[in-house]
Amino acid sequence: MAGTYQLNQHPARPTARPIPIVLGLPVPEPCGSCGVRHMSLCHAVEDKDLARLVDLATTDTIRPGRVFIQEHDPAIEFFNVTSGTARLFKLLPDGRRQITGFAGPGHFLGLAVGPSYSFSAEAVDDMKVCRFPRPKMVRLLHDFPAVEHRLLEVAAGELAAAQEQMLLLGRKTARERVASFLLARAAPPIPCGPTETRLHLPMSRSDIADYLGLTIETVSRTLTRLKADRLIELHGPSEVELLDTCQLNAIAGAEFAV
C-alpha cells in the first residue's frame, strides 16, 4: 500500500491523438487499426514498432451485461477498450458489489499481478475491444521499454485515482460523493465557474450506487436534492446538466474549489 509513482511530466491520460486522414489511400495505419490510436500506449512507440503491437490484437464486440473478465480466472488476455464503457468490480461472497471504476475508450485492462485477474469486468453498454494474448504482450513489453514506461505512467495515474476514491468512500457524505462523481465524469476536469456542462451517464443508478458505496435510493434522492438546490438539471435519468460547477466543486471537497 505504498504511494504513487512519478516518471515524467506527461499527464496520466492524455487525450488520444486524432486518427490521421490518409486521403482515402489504404496506407497501413497501424496505430489506427483496432482503435490502437486510442490507446495511451500508442504514442510511446514508433509506427513501425506499432505494427507489431497491432498484429497481436483481435477485435471483439461485447453486448451489454456480458462479463468479459472474471475475478480469479487465469489472466490470459489484456484488453483495450475502443468504444463503450465497462464496469470493473469486486464481489463479496454474499453478493455485495463494489465497482472500482468505469473503463471507457482508450482504457486498457486485464494486466493483473500474479496469474489471475483481481477484479471482474462487465459491459455497461455495447462495447468494442481489442484483445491481446498475454504471453505476446509480455514479450512486447520486454522488447519495447518505452511501452512499459508508458504503462507505468498509466498505472501511477490509476493509483492516484484509487487513492482519491478511497478518500471518497471512507470520508465523504452522500452529497459530496455524488458531486465528486459528476465532476469526475466531466473530463477534462472543470475547475469552477458557471460553465454549462452536459453529461451522459451510460451506467444505471445501481452502478453509480455501487461505485460510490451508497444505495440506489440515496443516489436518487441526492440527485433530486442537488436539482432542487439548482446545482444540476436532470434531462431524463442519464442526462445531467451541471449548472454551478463552482458550488459543486466546493461540495465535492476539491482542494482548490473557489
CA angle 16, 21, 25 (to 5 degrees): 135
Cβ-based nearer residue to a second copy, 29 or 53: 53
Q: Which stretch binds a second copy (CB under 8 A): 1-9, 24-32, 52-60, 192-200?
A: 1-9
- Bridge-based pairing of strands 232-234 and 239-242 is antiparallel
Residue 16 binding partner per list a second copy, DNA, none, with a CB distance cut-off of 5 to 8 Å that depends on partner kind: none
Enumerate residues 6+ apart whose C-beta is below 8 A from 128.
Answer: 35, 59, 60, 61, 62, 81, 82, 83, 84
Would you count residue 98 as binding a second copy (CB under 8 A)? yes
Would you count residue 4 as binding DNA (CB under 7 A)? no
CA distance 215 to 8: 39
Instruction: Give rounded-to-5 percent helix, strand, coil for the chain.
Output: 40, 20, 40
Would you count residue 166 as binding a second copy (CB under 8 A)? yes
Q: Which stretch binds DNA (CB under 7 A): 13-21, 31-39, 54-62, 202-210?
A: 202-210
Would you count residue 160 as binding a second copy (CB under 8 A)? yes
Would you count residue 217 as binding DNA (CB under 7 A)? yes
User: Which 128-187 residues touch DNA, going by CB under 7 A?
Assistant: 173-175
CA distance 204 to 64: 12
HEC secondary structure over 86-145 = EEEEEECCCCCEEEEEEECCCCEECCCCCCECCCEEEECCCEEEEEEEHHHHHHHHHHCH
Cβ-based nearer residue to a second copy, 8 or 21: 8
Task: State the nearest-atom distance from the C-beta of 20 to a second copy, in Å.
Answer: 26
Cell of 82: 475502443
State the amino acid at position 243 in one-letter form.
L
Task: State the nearest-atom distance from the C-beta of 248 to DNA, in Å.
Answer: 16
Cβ-based nearer residue to DNA, 46 or 239: 239
HEC secondary structure over 153-171 = HHHHHHHHHHHHHHHHHHH
Q: Which stretch binds DNA (CB under 7 A): 17-25, 49-57, 120-128, 234-242?
A: 234-242
Q: Which stretch binds DNA (CB under 7 A): 3-11, 44-52, 153-161, 212-220?
A: 212-220
Would you count residue 98 as binding DNA (CB under 7 A)? no
Binding flags for a second copy, 16-55, as an x/- string (CB under 8 A): ----------------------------------------
Task: State the nearest-atom distance from the C-beta of 129 to a second copy, in Å.
Answer: 12
User: Which 17-56 residues touch DNA, going by CB under 7 A?
Assistant: none
CA distance 143 to 45: 11
68: phi then psi, degrees, rounded to nearest 5: -105, -10
Site for DNA, rule CB under 7 A: 173-175, 204-206, 213-221, 223-224, 234, 236-238
